[in-house]
Structure 1
Amino acid sequence: MLKAWKWYQSCLSVHPVKTQVISSGVLWGVGDVAAQFITHSTARRRLQVSEADAKFKVNWKRTAITSLFGFGFVGPVGHLWYDGLDRFIRLSYMGFAAGKNVAQVKEDLKRDFLPALILEGGVWPLVQVANFRYIPVRYQLLYVNMFCLLDSAFLSWLEQQKDAPWKQWFTSFHSLKEGGSQGR
């Protein structure tokens, strides 16, 4: 796993645009197959059709079109967007908006980024799966906005935790990873 991660990081440093474009295409394609599966299983259950009568078949044309959208639009536009954000903003806007200086913002990012990424990376996929599987379309935006509000509250709480003991686990893991890669 660590070798795969190092290979991925080396690809990013060599060809960041190509990697982002390819990743976007693949992720959009995989997401489309997952959406087809969820829609199929929900419809099968709603219509009470047996598994033998309603086998899941991937619509490969739809998946190809969705992947091409990821390759041709989301990847390039996303790359330009985040490249622009990096160039113009560089650091956390919210830290500056709260009146912090550059050193304080950097320290906050070192302390809070990894715990927030890991915790949110575990929650948001579950929120979205529930959204597309159980929430009627007309309420999906409301549902996501509700979680965005909760997410904002969570991120504020996370920032206020400063050096809470539970955050030390994330930073110690990060320190071990850095120490292990320097020895090689």
Structure 2
Amino acid sequence: MAIIARLVSRFNAYYDERPLLTMMVTNAVLGGIADTVAQSITSVRERALRKPGGIAKDDNVAIEIHELDRKNPWNEHDLIPDSIHLPPPFDFERLTRFMAYGFAMAPLQYKWFSFLSRAFPMTKTSAFVPAMKRVAFDQLIFAPFGIGCFFTVMTVAEGGGRRAVAHKLRDMYIPTLKANFMVWPAVQIINFRLMPVQFQLPFVSTIGIAWTAYLSLTNASDEVEQPKTAPYSPNIRLQ
């Protein structure tokens, strides 16, 4: 608890001095954590699903028995599985893109939360209704925009053109938006109702770690059967 209190105190001090820069760095760090968690979970899952059968190279007893059969000698191809059976290596370029996206989107998210705070002020006598208005505006205006922005920016950053962006939005936009409506309204009610303004963006970014991991696992379910370039899971908050 003392460590947490010290971190909160340090964060508040940085926020008081440079609020926007503090949010940008925080968003980038949490975005990197989110993508690292997502890649790690996907790697563990693919390793379990793609584990090759047969004899492992470190199984000395089985190798010695197999070598007794002179007519069918053991070859290196049998000992080392094809690369398709191995989980993908950690993608540092993807991690960099996630962090850069979180860093670049933080000013827009910061301005948006500030706008909601000014447009729907909350008081001790009137808190629930303004909070619900903030959630409604956030989910009906910023969420659809943010999801589209995420897939567009990430696809372009991967080298895709207009057609690739159109395909990504066609395949991913509506399912992601539906999932967003199942998760984020409840999160934002807590966020706008309980969190001070300086903690609102870090709060949704922290919750977004689990959100990104969930979407990564959902996307990876098809990739195991037919390996291909992994589509990006939304960043710490997509929005």
Q: Does 1:79 align with 2:110?
A: yes
Q: Distance in 2 between matches of 1:65 and 1:94?
A: 37
Answer yes or no: is the 8 Å Cα contact 2:37–2:209 preserved in 1.
no
Answer yes or no: is the 8 Å Cα contact 1:20–1:75 preserved in 2.
yes
Compute the displacement of 1:3 (Å).
Answer: 2.0
Q: Distance in 1 between matches of 2:209 and 2:13?
A: 30
Structure 2: gaps (5+ residues):
58-80, 133-189, 222-239
Provide the secondary structure at the position in 1 that maps to 2:90: coil
Q: 1:131 to 1:11 in 2, by over 3 A?
A: same
Answer yes or no: is the 8 Å Cα contact 1:39–1:133 preserved in 2.
yes
Q: 1:21 to 1:126 in 2, by over 3 A?
A: closer
Q: Which amino acid is 1:36 matched to?
A: Q
Answer yes or no: is the 8 Å Cα contact 2:34–2:209 preserved in 1.
no
Compute the displacement of 1:95 (Å).
Answer: 3.0
Instruction: Give the aligned partner of residue 96 of structure 2.
Output: 64
Compute the displacement of 1:128 (Å).
Answer: 3.8
Instruction: Give the aligned partner of residue 95 of structure 1.
Output: 129
Q: Distance in 1 between matches of 2:215 and 2:22?
A: 28
Instruction: Give the aligned partner of residue 17 of structure 2.
Output: 14
Provide the secondary structure at the position in 2 that maps to 1:62: helix
**Alpha-carbon RMSD:** 4.0
How many percent of aligned residue pairs carry the same amino acid? 18
Q: Does 1:24 align with 2:27?
A: yes
Q: Distance in 1 between matches of 2:130 and 2:49?
A: 50
TM-score (norm 2): 0.40
Query: How many residue pairs end up in the alignment?
Result: 119
Compute the displacement of 1:96 (Å).
Answer: 5.6
Q: 1:36 to 1:49 in 2, by over 3 A?
A: farther
Provide the secondary structure at the position in 2 that maps to 1:11: helix
Structure 2 counterparts to residues 18-167 of structure 1, below 5 A: 18-49=21-52, 54=86, 57-72=89-104, 74-91=105-122, 94-95=128-129, 113=194, 128=211, 131-132=214-215, 135=218
- Compare the two structures and name the one with the higher helix fraction: 1
Q: 1:55 to 1:127 in 2, by over 3 A?
A: closer
Provide the secondary structure at the position in 2 that maps to 1:90: coil
Answer yes or no: is the 8 Å Cα contact 1:21–1:75 preserved in 2.
yes
Q: 1:126 to 1:28 in 2, by over 3 A?
A: closer
Q: Distance in 2 between matches of 1:14 and 1:63?
A: 28
Q: Distance in 2 between matches of 1:60 and 1:42?
A: 19
